[in-house]
Structure 1
Amino acid sequence: MTEDLVVTRTLVVPAAELSERFSRSSGPGGQGVNTADSRVELSFDLVGSPSVPGWLRGRMIARLEKRLVDGVLTVAASEHRAQLQNRAAARERLARILREAAAAPPPVRRATKPTKGSQERRIAEKKRRARTKQGRRGDGGWD
């Protein structure tokens, strides 16, 4: 899998900037788990990458600061028995994480006052609820 990692239409991580490590998966799996290096760790140096624009790098680093170790983002995949499937899963996971980190921030919400109609609906609902609770009282009135 020496293909470039397509994160978005504008952000493509070259295969040369990705590094893969293989190791044995943990857990049950029979004899194959003891011999096959099917677990995959995919690493990407976000801080030192020339393929990420500077304006985008700052946003991504801020959003991924808890996941980065010395500026490197690492993703592991060991859910499949085959190394090839784990490689594909790790690439998909890395692309999703980078895509979420690169997403534009949501628009800032401007606070507005409630409309006259919404205020009237709220008061009418409060009165209806009060009448319902008043009917549950033993004396049948306000006290």
Structure 2
Amino acid sequence: MRDFSKELNFKTSRSSGAGGQNVNKVETSVTVMWKVEDSDFFNGFQKNLIFTKLKNRINLDGILQLTVSESRTQLQNKKIATDKILEIVNDSIIVPKIRYKTKPSKAKVQKRLDSKKKISDKKENRRFKF
């Protein structure tokens, strides 16, 4: 897992939701922003993967943005936001293994047909015969 947290920028704002007077006074919501193009941690291929897989999360300026307001403290929200953005980006650079189509072996095909025939014969023997 790559740690590019030095390239992240943070912005705080007032959080909504539960918290009473704390919500009205303290800026606990944290927005983490990362400019993908300016990153030194990833090569061109990886940046291209990030852009394609996270295209719905990246704005027109090329900034990946994530807002967290789960906790009542700014410090915890900052840690949660950092962990989430690291996880999202690191999951997006994984290249899935290519799956090749395979055929079942002749023995497997024969075994399947034999079992079907056996079940068919069993059901045929259950029928009432005159």
* Structure 1 unpaired stretches of 5+: 1-6
> Which of 10, 19, 35 is the aligned partner of 1:45?
35
Structure 1 counterpart of 2:88, which letter?
A: I
Q: 1:115-126 maps to which residues of 2 (within 5 A)? A: 115-126=105-116
Structure 2 counterpart of 1:100, which letter?
A: D
TM-score of the aligned structures, taking structure 1 as reference length: 0.76
Q: In the comparison of the two structures, how many residue pairs are matched?
A: 128
Percent identical among aligned pairs is: 30
Q: Please name the residue that 1:73 is paired with.
A: 64
Which whole-Å CA distance do the structure 2 matches of 1:31 and 1:80 have between them?
15
* Structure 2 unpaired stretches of 5+: none
RMSD, matched Cα: 2.4
Which whole-Å CA distance do the structure 1 matches of 2:17 and 2:119 have between them?
56
Q: Does 1:102 align with 2:93?
A: yes
Deviation of residue 50 (structure 1)? 3.8
Aligned 8 A contact 2:58 2:65 in 1? yes
**CA 141–116 in structure 1, closer or farther in 2 if over 3 Å, else same:** farther
The structure richer in helix per residue is 2
| Larger RCO: 1 or 2 (CA < 8 Å, sep 6+) | 2
Deviation of residue 24 (structure 1)? 1.4
Which whole-Å CA distance do the structure 2 matches of 1:134 and 1:27 have between them?
67
TM-score of the aligned structures, taking structure 2 as reference length: 0.82
